[in-house]
Amino acid sequence: MAAPNESTENRFFADISAILREGRNKAHVAVNFAMVETYWKMGKLIVEQEQQGYERANYGEHLLVNLSRHLSGTFGKGFSVANLWNFRQFYLTYPQEEILYTVCRELSWSHIRLIMRLDSQKARDYYLNEARTQNWSVRALERNIKSGYFERLLSSQNSEFPASELTNGISMDDLIKDPYVLEFLGLPENVAGKESRLESAIIGHLQEFLLEMGKGFSFVGRQLRISTETSHFYVDVVFYNYLLKCFVIIDLKTQKLTHQDIGQMDMYVRMFDDLKRGVDDNPTIGLILCADKDETIVKYSVLRESRQIFASKYKTILPSEEELTAELERNTRFLREVRDTAIRKNDE
């Protein structure tokens, strides 16, 4: 019998390693769910016990203190009053047992603990689903919550502008955000006139930028050339979205949006559709990322009627909750004005 060659042996090693990794992953998932399930059941019993003693003042508080002492003495660390309160809150937030065995089983306790602290049920449902389906790490989930990912997306979805073509039930309006928060780039708040620096920072932090962009994006290239018979043009950053089945081209502007910027993007989108778009691709989407924008220009430019061009602000510093709220309120006021204007025109 001939001795196995090196390539055959390497494949054998790789197959064994793959089996081991799969087994460890399954074991990790099983252990994680067992822990999550245990905490939910503990929370359920705590709530039920509290309800039995509801006539006694501060019964719930005394119950958790005494339970903490008992469990800590029996099982050791990990059963502080704060942790027991979290178990109780877990059950109160998700009392339906079927959710535990469907959505929650795919997330860690750290994921769930972050999500259940949110006040809005819609936000909790969104982050629970996205963290599961997009395989967000705990760090990514925490960052998205702090940057108001859901609120920014919801603000854009309230737009009265025409929606881009639907594909697989998803439109660009389901992905666009305003503003985009790019604090991970490590840039100062003002990078006016330094588009190349902004572009380089994005390429250097591509994984984080893709996460901020949303679902289905893959990187195609930077400074991608599109040429006519007489001229060459260069698009800052190009992606392809496999859910929308279209190219998404991004133009970076470190100053306030102008009508010239919008006209340039309109030309880029038309050229890209004509020269780069494949037979099976949907129309190209153009996104202008700018440091600021004048809503009057947005309202009275091609953006008002376009199904393919969007403009959003970006921030290189993580905004405070108050700043983000104010920004979203400004967007809401503008969108309400656009809606009211459209209604008046229809009535006329």
The pLDDT, as a whole number, for residue 165 is 47
Alpha-helical segments (H) within the chain? 6-52, 59-75, 81-93, 97-100, 109-115, 121-133, 138-146, 149-157, 195-204, 206-213, 259-275, 295-299, 321-347
pLDDT of residue 142: 95
pLDDT of 281: 92
Number of structural domains in the chain: 2
Task: Flag whether 2 is in a domain.
Answer: no
pLDDT of residue 88: 93
What is the rounded distance in angstroms from the CA atom of residue 182 to the CA atom of residue 166?
27
Q: Which of 114, 130, 147 is the last residue of a domain?
A: 147
DSSP-based three-state secondary structure for 93: helix
Give 10-residue mean pLDDT values along the chain (348 residues). 69 88 86 90 92 69 90 90 94 89 87 94 93 92 93 70 50 78 90 88 94 92 88 92 92 91 91 91 92 76 75 88 80 65 57
Report the b/e string of 316-330 with b at 16+ CB within 10 A: beebeeeebeebbee
pLDDT given at position 189: 83
pLDDT of residue 209: 95
Shared-domain flag, residues 255 and 314: yes
- Domain stops at, among 114, 147, 180: 147
- Under a CB-based contact definition with an 8 Å cutoff, are residues 311 and 298 in contact? yes
Question: The pTM is what?
Answer: 0.79
Q: What contacts 24+ positions apart, CB below 8 Å, involve 226-230?
A: 226/268, 226/271, 226/272, 226/275, 226/276, 227/275, 228/271, 228/275
Residues 6+ apart with CB under 8 A from 180: 152, 212, 289, 312, 313, 314, 315
Q: Which pLDDT belongs to residue 1?
A: 53
* Model pLDDT, residue 26: 84
* Chain center to CA of 1: 56
| CATH of residue 324 | 3.40.1350.10
Same domain, 115 and 226: no
237 and 155 in a common domain: yes
Which of 95, 121, 147 is the last residue before a domain boundary?
147
Q: Report yes or no on 89 lying in a domain.
A: yes
Residues 71 and 176 placed together within one structural domain of the fold: no
